[in-house]
């Protein structure tokens, strides 16, 4: 059965017309889905019952069912394990911080990228999330916590390997007739899929782009991030420069400190060479320890030291506040735990 919550207003108008109903019904249905977050035709009480029945025979909603919620005692972060219609499980994180409510969503079940430090990729890739599931993931969090103001697409998966559904999702949630979230409050994080950076730059979406760089030279990057074998750092930076030129959105480079591995003077020098004079941000992240990468660490002292080195070299640097440390809020950790416990 076709899903309805990933259709734009025009598509709903077409389907309403096919059902021999008046055009204004489309707007009512669209509003119920995207403003009132209704995910059941029978709760759309302003729609005549016979139309609700007709709709329910032909269309459906994807479901994300909360099976666990972990609440951080440190900072209010909430992490959810959601079960999809086919029994697969994903993670979604809600982070209240100052006046912002940020949502971190997953784009895939599992991940194919194989980054050595990341829990999401441990059991490989299962499937892409549909655009309908991406929307429902967002709205379910809003039903529970109220409206969110920012979305970071940094959960499980490589968003650019699920490109079409990602773009459809962004178009729907930013639609002025519906959810109307600002493009500027959305950030897509990628491990650096160069063609897709160009494609997104030409998409007219103007969302923020973050790239998981993490290393300052190709040799080291390839060792920890297999995608580095396909695209060089230089190619990635070139694509990001194009993104900035086309969208006016400053690109941020995520750089996770692994003490003694990627925070040397040479690394600072390399980053200076790559970025000096460019309007970019280097976002330093501390490594969240995971079982498979237990011999590596990063601490606030080495992160601060490296930040100082880069600042002295004239680069824009910020240190990302780590949220939900007490609830394994790092990408993929909970899903793995759940699967281990349930023998999956």
Candidates 64, 93, 181, 290; binder of ligand SAH (CB under 6 A) is: 290
Catalytic residue among 13, 21, 91, 140: 91
Per CB under 6 A, does 140 bind ligand SAH?
Answer: no
> Hey, is 186 helix, strand or coil?
strand
Q: Residue 266: in which H helix or E strand, if any?
A: helix 265-275
Q: Which is nearer to ligand SAH, 61 or 253 (CB)?
A: 253
**Residue in 314, 281, 282, 320 with CA at minimum distance from that of residue 298:** 320
Q: Is 235 a catalytic residue?
A: no
Strand order in the sheet with 64-71: 64-71, 78-84, 89-97, 100-104, 150-153, 186-190, 208-212, 252-257, 281-286, 317-319
Per CB under 6 A, does 191 bind ligand SAH?
Answer: yes
Candidates 32, 190, 252, 303; binder of ligand SAH (CB under 6 A) is: 190
Q: Which is nearer to ligand SAH, 56 or 302 (CB)?
A: 302
Distances (CA, A) of 333 to 81, 91, 136: 11, 9, 22
Enumerate residues 203-232 that contact ligand SAH by CB under 6 A: 212
Candidates 233, 285, 310, 329; binder of ligand SAH (CB under 6 A) is: 285
Start-to-end C-alpha separation, the chain: 28
Per CB under 6 A, does 251 bind ligand SAH?
Answer: no
Range in contact with ligand SAH (rule: CB under 6 A) among 64-72, 113-121, 233-241, 264-272: 113-121
Pairing of strands 59-60, 64-71: unpaired
Per CB under 6 A, does 239 bind ligand SAH?
Answer: no
For residues 68 and 80, the answer to whether their CB atoms sit within 8 Å is yes
**Residue showing tokens 């991406």:** 134
Q: Is 111 a catalytic residue?
A: no
Residues with a known catalytic role: 91, 331
Residues lying near ligand SAH in the complex (CB under 6 A) are found at 113, 115, 117-118, 154, 158, 189-191, 212, 254, 256, 285, 287-288, 290, 330-331
């Amino acid at each position: 059965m076709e899903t309805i919550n990933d259709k734009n207003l025009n598509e709903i108008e077409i389907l309403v017309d096919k059902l021999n109903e008046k055009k204004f019904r489309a707007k009512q249905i669209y509003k119920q889905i995207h403003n009132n977050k209704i995910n059941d035709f029978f709760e759309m009480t302003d729609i005549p019952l016979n139309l609700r029945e007709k709709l329910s025979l032909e269309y459906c909603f994807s479901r994300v069912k909360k099976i666990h919620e972990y609440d951080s005692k440190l900072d209010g972060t909430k992490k959810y394990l959601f079960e999809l219609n086919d029994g697969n499980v994903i993670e979604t994180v809600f982070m209240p911080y100052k006046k912002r409510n940020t949502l971190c969503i997953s784009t895939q079940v599992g991940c194919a990228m194989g980054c050595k430090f990341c829990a999401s990729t441990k059991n490989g890739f299962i499937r892409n999330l549909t655009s309908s599931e991406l929307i429902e993931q967002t709205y379910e969090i809003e039903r529970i916590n109220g409206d969110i103001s920012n979305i970071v697409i940094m959960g499980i998966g490589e968003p650019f390997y699920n490109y079409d559904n990602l773009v459809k999702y962004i178009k729907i949630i930013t639609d002025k007739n519906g959810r109307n979230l600002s493009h500027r409050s959305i950030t897509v994080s990628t491990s650096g899929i160069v063609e897709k950076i160009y494609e997104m730059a030409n998409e007219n979406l103007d969302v923020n782009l973050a790239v998981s760089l993490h290393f300052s030279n190709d040799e080291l990057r390839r060792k920890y991030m297999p995608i580095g074998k396909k695209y060089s750092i230089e190619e990635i930076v070139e694509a990001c420069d194009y993104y900035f030129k086309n969208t006016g959105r400053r690109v941020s480079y995520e750089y996770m400190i692994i003490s003694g591995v990627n925070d040397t003077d040479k690394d600072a020098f390399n980053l200076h060479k790559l970025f000096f004079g460019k309007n970019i941000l280097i976002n330093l992240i501390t490594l969240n320890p995971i079982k498979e990468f237990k011999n590596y660490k990063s601490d606030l002292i080495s992160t601060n030291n490296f930040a100082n080195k880069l600042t002295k070299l004239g680069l824009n640097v910020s240190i990302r506040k780590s949220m939900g440390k007490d609830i394994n809020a790092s990408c993929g950790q909970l899903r793995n735990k759940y699967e281990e416990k349930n023998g999956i």
